[in-house]
Structure 1
Amino acid sequence: MLDLTLLNAPVLRPEGWSDAPLSIGGGLLGGSAGKVVDLSGFEILPGIVDAHGDGFERHMAPRRGALRERASGVQACAAELAACGITTAALAQFWSWEGGMRGPEFAEEVFAAVTEVAPTVPIDLRLQLRLETHFLDGFAGAEEAIARWGISYAVFNDHLPHRRLAEGRKPPRLTGQALKSGRSPEAHLALMMGLHDRGDEVPAALDGLCARLAARGVTMGSHDDRTAEGRAEWRARGVRVSEFPETVAAAQAARDAGEFIVLGAPNVVRGASHAGNVSALELVGMGLCDALASDYHYPAPARAAWRCVELGMLDEIAAWKLVSEGPARLLGLSDRGRIEDGLRADLVIREQATRRIVATIAGGRVAYMSGDVAGRFIA
């Protein structure tokens, strides 16, 4: 682990930018002076905490059916996370009737690979299980996996096209989705119809499952909330995180109840939802955001935070909290997300002239370093 003092670089502390030196020792912030590193021309920010990201999929399965190097994929993912300034990452893996990369078999491979690799990399890799609400036959397996792999964050999704199924119409993109699942289009449609027809069983099954997960201390979230009423139903089950709400009404309901709101950083960078839902920028401007997550693009959190500053929506302190302190609190991690003595030494070093991330320190270890800044550390 590093034992050093960083000089001549502005440091983004909770109270604002500070020119005071920053020391690292024993994996924590603060402590003895150690080796002195001159970081003139650079600035230091808290490491990014990513509460929800599935960008790891392209590393785990770069081409369907071609490679099964899961551990190597996790290592590559950790390197990408570090290059993007992410020091803690919740890898969001489906447990779904959709099969393929979203099915339980693939999920178990992901969980095993992350568990194997996590102790060997500086980045704190965590798991999130995304459970499809109508996958009733998969509930027991999901619950067992959560316990066995020590998963502390579960999110509920519903990707069934209920309206079309109720009307007896084929969903869009049926053939492509069926091929990804390894089923024929006919078999895939029959499966969806069967799941849709069991809708009356879902609420009671979710009530029981959520009660058991809450008793274990698992953080729970609902994905793509559309209405205040829907958010209230999840709240009654102890589900206190609203991930990517699709409307102002749903997000406002979560805020009024003091619940966490997670928005997609790519949505902020784009300036609009790719699915035509409410803009994350609009919600950020209304104060309806606690955390910006990478979603499907790991470079997005750092870029989104700065985008909020560029547009004059937030100052840099408030904007960076959306990718550091906010998601850390959501995940129950009080030891990170801020630059304060005694906390984990999770830092992003950014070039002042370009705002390019040039180094990432995670838990007091170098996770990423590129370019001229490396010479400062090894001189």
Structure 2
Amino acid sequence: MTETLFKNASIVLPDEVIHGSLLVRDGVIADIASGAAAGGGEDMGGDTLIPGLVELHTDHIEGHYLPRPRVRWNMMAALQAHDAQIAASGITTVFDALRVGMDEDAQLGSEDMRAMADTIEAASEEGRLRADHFIHLRCEVSAPDVTESFEVISGGKRVRLASLMDHAPGQRQFVDLDTYRTYYQRKMKMTDVEFEAFCHRRVAESEANSAPNRRAIAQACLSAGIAIASHDDATAEHVREGAELGITLAEFPTTAEAAEHSVKAGMLVLMGAPNIVRGGSHSGNISAAALLDNGTLDILSSDYVPFSLVQAAFHLVESGSLDLPAAIHLVSTNPAKAARLDDRGAIAIGRRADLVRVRRAPGMPPLVAGVWREGARVA
């Protein structure tokens, strides 16, 4: 039996903040007490102690594996580098989003994704990772090979979540064709003629493949016990379709209407933490802050910047938008609930001792000064 006492801390509980101590026994929170604690232990120096953050959708790992065009890094080394940044950002549970369904703009292929999934599974089994890693399959339902690729990867025991997405122009994330042009034409260095042909191909693929692939993957997820998320819903019809497919998580809705209908359908609504930090969507869609004001925001995801998760939570506190317990619900409690991980997501007796020490200073981003996963320090 191992015990660690964390004392002299500002402890963020589900509904309040107390100054006191926290006892960890064999990786689980065994006791929480207000006031000073006698004896040895980890002195937090008055710093804030929050539960480990739970990240549901980040494809940040791809940048470590493909750091430059046509440069592929050792996959295990890339995963470990990604994992180190995740843990140092206060994230103790992460769902690595791997793309399923490839098209002409993809720099990585299905074989890369399968190898990455295998690497995550192996590294987790070998205890090589600081954070607890699961796999999120982000399924491009307009791609002809999406169901075949899904079947190849979805059997892994770390696969817990799948999202259904369609990035064809003129709908969902890219209703605004100028935004689509800015993103894809510049990225792929296409002429105007090439871009027009590219758009026609994308729309044709979407019309031919999206509906049947969406249904097939949703059914496979339900059969396998994999949670399902929608992606970039824009209309009430999108939400209705998702509800019929068994979707319980609405990722990045692009309009207030879609977010409101998602909540009414019993879905949890997820938006990007960078959206909060930057003050708006980089695609020109609804802001996360607007959804928060409407009462239709449940979860934040770091998306493409791991540190944005803790940064956004404390930004919301500093701006007066939320108190600290409510902000932590967005980045730990609610995502754990969405992922059906009932053993984490809050500082409470009996929960995993996934803990983050945060040092705060006025006008500065929060400093992650220590991270523990099941009571063992990992950052």
TM-score (norm 1): 0.87
- 1:153 corresponds, among 133, 146, 161, to 161
Q: 1:198 deviation in Å?
A: 6.4
SS at match of 1:77: helix
The answer to whether residue 77 in structure 2 is matched with residue 72 in structure 1 is: yes
- Whole-Å separation in 2 of the counterparts to 1:333 and 1:50: 12
222-231 vs 31-40, greater mean Cα deviation: 31-40
Retained in 1: the 8 A contact 2:84–2:130? no
Structure 2 matches for 1:1-379, cutoff 5 A?
Answer: 3-30=3-30, 36-98=41-103, 100-118=106-124, 119-148=127-156, 150-161=158-169, 193=201, 196-197=204-205, 199-353=207-361, 355-368=366-379
- Give the number of equivalent residue pairs: 360
Amino acid at match of 1:15: D
- Whole-Å separation in 2 of the counterparts to 1:188 and 1:143: 33
Q: What is the aligned-residue RMSD (CA, Å)?
A: 2.9
Sequence identity, in percent? 30
Query: Unmatched 5+ residue regions in structure 1?
Result: 369-379
Shift in alpha-carbon separation, 1:14–1:194, aligned structure 2, 3 A: closer
Shift in alpha-carbon separation, 1:97–1:179, aligned structure 2, 3 A: farther
- Whole-Å separation in 2 of the counterparts to 1:171 and 1:39: 50
Query: Unmatched 5+ residue regions in structure 2?
Result: 33-37
Shift in alpha-carbon separation, 1:109–1:176, aligned structure 2, 3 A: farther
Shift in alpha-carbon separation, 1:26–1:146, aligned structure 2, 3 A: same
SS at match of 1:252: helix
Q: 1:320 deviation in Å?
A: 1.2
Amino acid at match of 1:302: V
Retained in 1: the 8 A contact 2:103–2:143? no
Q: 1:98 deviation in Å?
A: 2.6
SS at match of 1:343: coil
- Whole-Å separation in 2 of the counterparts to 1:98 and 1:92: 17
Retained in 1: the 8 A contact 2:99–2:139? yes
Question: For 1:191-244, what per-residue CA distance to the aligned partner results, in whole angstroms no more than 9, with x for missing partners?
Answer: 972772562453234223311211211111111111111111111111121101
Amino acid at match of 1:65: R
Shift in alpha-carbon separation, 1:200–1:308, aligned structure 2, 3 A: same
TM-score (norm 2): 0.87
Aligned to 1:376: none
Shift in alpha-carbon separation, 1:38–1:151, aligned structure 2, 3 A: same
